[in-house]
Structure 1
Amino acid sequence: MPVPLYVVIRGWGSISALGHAGLPPTCRPAFRLDAASGLSVAALPAAAETALDQLRRSRPAYRALDRSVLLALWAAQQATAQAGWQPDDARPLAVSMGSSRGASERLETFHAEFLRNGTSPTAASPLTTLGNVASWVADAAGAAAGAISHSSTCSTALQALGNAVAWLRAGMAERFLAGGTEAPLTAFTLAQMQALGIYSALPPDAYPCRPGAGGSSSFVLGEGAAVLALEATTAEQLRPGDLLLESVGFGFEATGTKTGLTPHGLHFQQAMRQALAQAGRLPTDVDLILLHSPGTAAGDAAERAAVEHIFGADGPACTSNKWLLGHTLGASAALSLDFALHVLQGRLAPSALPFESWLNMRLAPQRVRRILVNAAGFGGNAASALVSVAS
């Protein structure tokens, strides 16, 4: 097959606190109180929970799967259906899925059982390996070209998508399912976030996650998954309105700190610069930046510094979707892409956040053609993806 010039997003699926059938016409925060911890969280709504339970019951093998795997399966099925891919499609299909924590629910359950009686179920190991996320998605999709699981903390979904772009452009696959999933609303994971001193003290009805607000950290955990159905496409096959994944850039800085942050966000700078260079774009070609911005004081400030270094003080508008669905860790970048694609299709217009934030300094233009999506995670890694709509 000829080396493709473009990677086209033929479909995508998502499931999160905002729902399971795409974003609602008007975006409203989706937080509730976790009874056990007393913390604000962004959990699936009742309708999405019912759909996930139906999926769990649809195959006997699914009943033992971790929640993170089921979320990925749901989003992948939605993406495949939207792309119109049929079971008899002979084009090579590969899968790349990211998750920061993996099978948190199953792992904590199995470990609690081990502490109680000193034994482990036979299925504990295969059901808690990170690789079972991609393998189950591949099993459902009938992928024959490969199944890869990634874990690069909170930028892991973009790592998975970067792998997909490389495979498609190298001719190693013609179709690719790639994205991220996370089900971190467990007692131990919530306790870990609290121990870092970053968790929001605000109640669910008071905009508990406030990206770019400064002051006290307002990190809130959420759950969800998003998966993109990608195809290798030549210039001759490209059509106006096609959604393009132009590039994925990466950055890293070794800081020696527990979070991997420095005040200037060098890893963000590297990732954004690389994404622009790969696509042959200038900073002025970007209409909107969808920030990683998790509501933590240090993280938000570092990303702002990095954006201003690359784009200048009068750069493009910036926004975040975490004030709506919290921080979904390894799924966050994929859900940010879900948000960005709705914006590119004109189904969602970014607006000022309903609280004081530096993100409100500039609003996005009425017609957004190209969006840069940022993600970063513990350990000093970052990634940026450039998505656009073909004209």
Structure 2
Amino acid sequence: MKKRVVITGMGCVTPIGLDKESTWHNAIKGVSGIRQVSNEWMEDLPVKLAAEITGFDPLQEMDVKEARRTDRFIQLAIAAADEALRDSGLIVGHNVDPMRTGVWIGSGVGGIMTFESGMLDVLQKGFGRVSPFALSMFLPNMAASRISIRLGARGLTGCTVTACASGSQSIGGAFRAVQRGEADVMIAGGTEAPICKIGLASFAAMRALSVQTDPWQGSRPFDKNRDGFVIGEGAGILVLESLDHAQARGAEIYAELLGYGSCGEGFHISAPRSDGSDWTRAMNLALEDATIDPEKIQYINAHGTSTILNDLTETRAIKAVFGSHAYNVSISSTKSMTGHLLGASGAVEAVLSILALRNDIVPPTINYVERDEEMDLDYTPNSFKRRKLETVMSNTFAFGGHNAVLIFGKNQHLIPRSDCLYDAP
């Protein structure tokens, strides 16, 4: 029999906040974390915008030696995981068995900043100048590894590397592990720090990034004049726990993870099928897994990247899944504020989806000015909306055809968390 899985802790570091509370407050206020990047090496690129995290100090989480030996994507993950563990009240080895505690944290590109600087050292200074810690800094699995070592967690440990779906699929994999009884607790999510020369140049070469110079025009999901996404950095971590384990320790609970759907496309390296049929399938798989009808969904945190093809295809897919009910669903893309966090995006958006569920508030899609004719759903333009929410969906669709959908729900029999209720401004 499958175990029920609940969320008992959350943490995040994003371009709009250094923790989940500030990220949520700024999301519902419509604060943008997108700004012009001043680095001189940006001058030769057609891209001028990025969503960088400001004010983050890794020394608040680790000593100087550890900070020097960890890439930024690992540092962000550690900060988010520390917040999530504090939030959950779990202490590995005290109120949870280390052997029954796992870590599953994905990343699309891993320590690309370290890899870039290491390659420059090799080319300019020779092999002898490469740090002996370089490999342990740039491998994508090292965020999960560092956190498991830090916590003494000795259960299932993994890292999903599926571009933008990495965070959502890591949560989905952790969900299955707890469902099957392979773990009592899983620390899961995604992390990314891709803002460097090769990171920006690669996406710019694909013409996936916005070429706007005005931060308020750079990320415009579902707007008629959208021209690409803005790359960002961040981390989001959830603590997934079996319901019986959470109840046995009297834990407060954010939400229940009801369903997970994932599928591949086998179609194109970066473009979806225009009818959205694979994205439709992923959403239907999640609904089937949750054993709920489409009409039960009130809010969708959309993938909503602000690219021409993505937003139109996602709209078509939502209509195919929900039929006439699609016009009753509130939809928003929080990437309009955070930028696209690549492998961290699905995890951060899961945090925001759960806080939307708990607060009965739909965060906005900012920078929405002009409607695109075929895209006629409720995208929650520019201002948050108060709405009674019982079940929410979070979509993630990645380069390479990796699709992941998560469904979270309230349950009146659970002990709700009172400290996650943040009133809107």
TM-score w.r.t. length of structure 2: 0.85
Q: 2-side partners of 1:28 and 1:366: how far apart?
A: 20
Q: Give runs of aligned pairs for residues 335-354 of structure 1, distance below 5 A.
A: 335-346=348-359, 348-351=361-364, 353-354=366-367
Whether the 8 Å CA contact 1:181–1:226 is kept in 2: the answer is: yes
**Is the 8 Å Cα contact of residues 333 and 365 (structure 2) preserved in structure 1?**
no
Paired residue secondary structure (1:189):
helix
- Corresponding position of 1:296: 307
Give the whole-Å Cα distance in 1 for the aligned partners of 2:368 and 2:254.
34
Q: 1:34 aligns with which of 32, 37, 55?
A: 37
Distance in 2 (CA, whole Å) between partners of 1:24 and 1:386 is 19
1:64 maps to which residue? 69
Sequence identity of aligned pairs in percent?
Answer: 24
1:248 aligns with 2:260: yes
Q: What's the CA shift string for 1:105-156, capped at 9, x where partnerless? A: 1111111101112203322223222221110011122211121111011011
- Map residues 228-307 of structure 1 onto 2, 5 A cutoff: 228-234=238-244, 237=247, 242-255=254-267, 257-307=268-318
Report the AA paired with residue 251 of structure 1: C
- Residue 79 (structure 1) aligned to one of 77, 81, 84: 84
**What is aligned with 2:118?**
110
Moved more, 289-298 or 16-25: 16-25
Alignment match, 1:55: 61
Letter in 2 for 1:81: R
Contact 1:241/1:389, CA 8 A, preserved across alignment: no
SS at match of 2:241: strand
Q: Does the CA-based 8 Å contact 2:13-2:80 persist in structure 1?
A: yes
Contact 2:263 2:403 in 1 (8 A): yes
Matches within 5 A, 1:93-104: 93-104=101-112
Partner of 1:167: 177
Query: Is the contact made by 2:394 and 2:406 (CA closer than 8 Å) also made in structure 1?
Result: yes
CA distance in 2, matches of 1:202, 1:268: 28
Deviates more, 1:240-249 or 1:351-360: 351-360
1:67/1:359 Cα in 2 relative to 1: closer, same or farther (>3 Å)?
Answer: farther
**Alpha-carbon separation, structure 2, partners of 1:348 and 1:129:** 38
**SS at 2:163's partner residue?**
coil
- The 1:196/1:309 distance shift into structure 2, 3 A limit, reads same
How far did residue 4 of structure 1 move? 5.3
Return the offset for 1:206.
2.1
What is the deviation of 1:44?
0.7
TM-score (ref. length: structure 1): 0.92
Amino acid at match of 2:341: T
Unpaired runs of 5+ residues, structure 1, are none
1:241–1:390 CA contact under 8 A, matched in 2: no
Q: Check the 8 A contact 1:318/1:359 in 2, yes or no.
A: no
2:401 match: 380
Secondary structure of the residue aligned to 1:111 is: helix
Instruction: Give the direction of change, closer, same or farther, for the CA distance of 1:161–1:241 in structure 2 (3 Å limit).
Output: closer
CA RMSD of aligned residues (A): 2.2
**Residues 375, 382 of structure 1: 8 Å contact kept:** yes
Deviations 1:72-112 (A, max 9, x none): 10000000000001242243110000100001111111111
User: What's the counterpart of residue 325 of structure 1?
Assistant: 338
Stretches of structure 2 lacking an aligned partner (at least 5 in a row): 413-425
User: How many angstroms apart in 2 are the aligned matches of 1:216 and 1:227?
Assistant: 30
Q: Does the 8 Å CA contact 1:239/1:390 hold for their aligned counterparts? A: no
**What secondary structure is seen at the aligned counterpart in 2 of 1:161?**
helix
* Residue 34 of structure 1, CA deviation: 1.0
Shift of 1:365: 6.2
- Match of residue 421 from structure 2: none
